[in-house]
Amino acid sequence: MIHIHTWQALASGDGNNLQSWAQAAPWLDYALTKPADSLNMHVVGIKTLLYTNPNREGPGDPLYTNDETTFAHDCANNRIKSEGLDQNRYLMDPHSTDLGGLWQTYVAQTIGGGAWLDYVFEDKADTIDKVSAQPCNFNQDDWSNASNTLDQYIGQPPIIYNSLGHTSVVGGKPQVAPSMALNATSAGGESEDCYAQADNTLRTKLAWQGEELTEIDMAADGKYFVCNGTMVQPAGSSIAQRIYQYASYLLTYNPNLTLYETNFTTYSGLKVYPEEELVALQPLAPQPTDPSQLLQSGGAYAREYQACYFATVYVGPCAAVVDSNQSGMSNVPFPWPSKYHHTLYITGSGVLDGGAAYTNGPAPPSTMSSGTALIAFP
């Protein structure tokens, strides 16, 4: 592997400065893109996805009609408004066979129009987050079952859904999002705010553990997991945050199934960074079933790998270490002070923007502060 598996929303007209998709192809594996760009991306080796949102539709959207059976309703039989970024849309009803038919037709027409689709991306799947009211007699298991039935209208290309970021805490323990039930009819799912959040803060404590648990469970299910860090600060001034997201990702990733996405900004518009050339293989301990199994004495979470490669060059063992405590908590000790003597050192921005990474950076500190991470080498 030249780099871990990468994913990005990328299309012509989105402000990127790429001269051709061939520039991105050595670095980018999956692109959520426009139908008009999909075939050219496929030709250079990038897998493509069509954005769809059968769960929130409004006037002008592909699946919006006056068919009232496609909309979810409250107990007064009113349509339910979506809020936040989708405030001009409505919550749709996954029980609706008409909605399933509209979605199926839209995808088929897109392919018939010449688009190359490796996957269909389903946004807002199996969630009623940020809506004006609950559907009448709402039951999450019933909604998930209906969402799986809706997904069956799209047999091919396979679906990758979005909403795994809606983790929760019950009885002091992290819980994965209900939408993981969609693994029954999908190739995988995406989590937004994956370790690095859109409000430019980091996930910490139980929210961080919920993300790690999701990453673990998706790999255990044999499904793709898209870790979408949504922090949007300039990449060159966000190196500590980049390392935090990447080290957190490495703790529980599956090299074949776990995909990496960031939104730190670059001039080129390609959001792939040099740290993603570090591929960690042969973990010393088996894949955990819970993030607590990675907790070290002293409070850091860490995992060691026997064989690590940077830009395909073997660099020996390495370890990902994260202090996921929230700001203001006491420092935690680095777990192996005599075993590792260097850290991953990063300069600059993306791989097409002069960014670089080195495996012979400074020695790990004796203690780590809250919300920091590092990748260590002997």
Instruction: Indicate whether 372 belongs to any domain.
Output: no
For residue 67, give its domain range: 7-277
In a domain, 115, yes or no: yes
The answer to whether residue 219 is domain-embedded is: yes
Choose among 146, 230, 213, 210: nearest CA to 184.
Answer: 146
Look at residue 125 and tell me if it is in a domain. Answer: yes
Q: What is the CATH number of the domain that holds 202?
A: 3.20.20.70
The pLDDT of 59-79, averaged and rounded, is 98
Residue 68 confidence (pLDDT): 98
Q: What is the mean pLDDT of the chain?
A: 97
The torsion angles phi and psi of 159, rounded to 5 degrees, stand at -95, 140
Mean pLDDT confidence for 103-128: 98
For the cut 90, the answer to whether the pLDDT of residue 159 exceeds it is yes
For residue 214, the 8-state DSSP code is H
Please indicate, yes or no, if residue 295 is contained in any of the structural domains: no
pLDDT recorded at residue 193: 98
pLDDT of residue 99: 98
Alpha-carbon gap, residue 282 to 132, rounded angstroms: 48
pLDDT in tens, 319-376: 999 999 998 899 999 999 999 999 999 999 999 999 999 999 999 999 999 999 999 9
Res 1: pLDDT: 87
Asked if residue 331 is part of any domain, the answer here is no
* Count of the separate structural domains present in the chain: 1
91 belongs to a structural domain: yes
Q: What is the average per-residue pLDDT within 140-163? A: 97
pLDDT(63) > 90: yes
Phi/psi at 295 (5° precision): -75, 125
pLDDT digits (tens, 9 = 90+) for 192-247: 999 999 999 999 999 999 999 999 999 999 999 999 999 999 999 999 999 999 99
User: Which pLDDT does position 85 carry in this prediction?
Assistant: 83
**Percent of residues, the chain, with pLDDT higher than 90:** 98
Is the residue at 45 inside a domain? yes
Question: Which residue in 255, 252, 245, 299 sits closest to 279, CA to CA?
Answer: 255
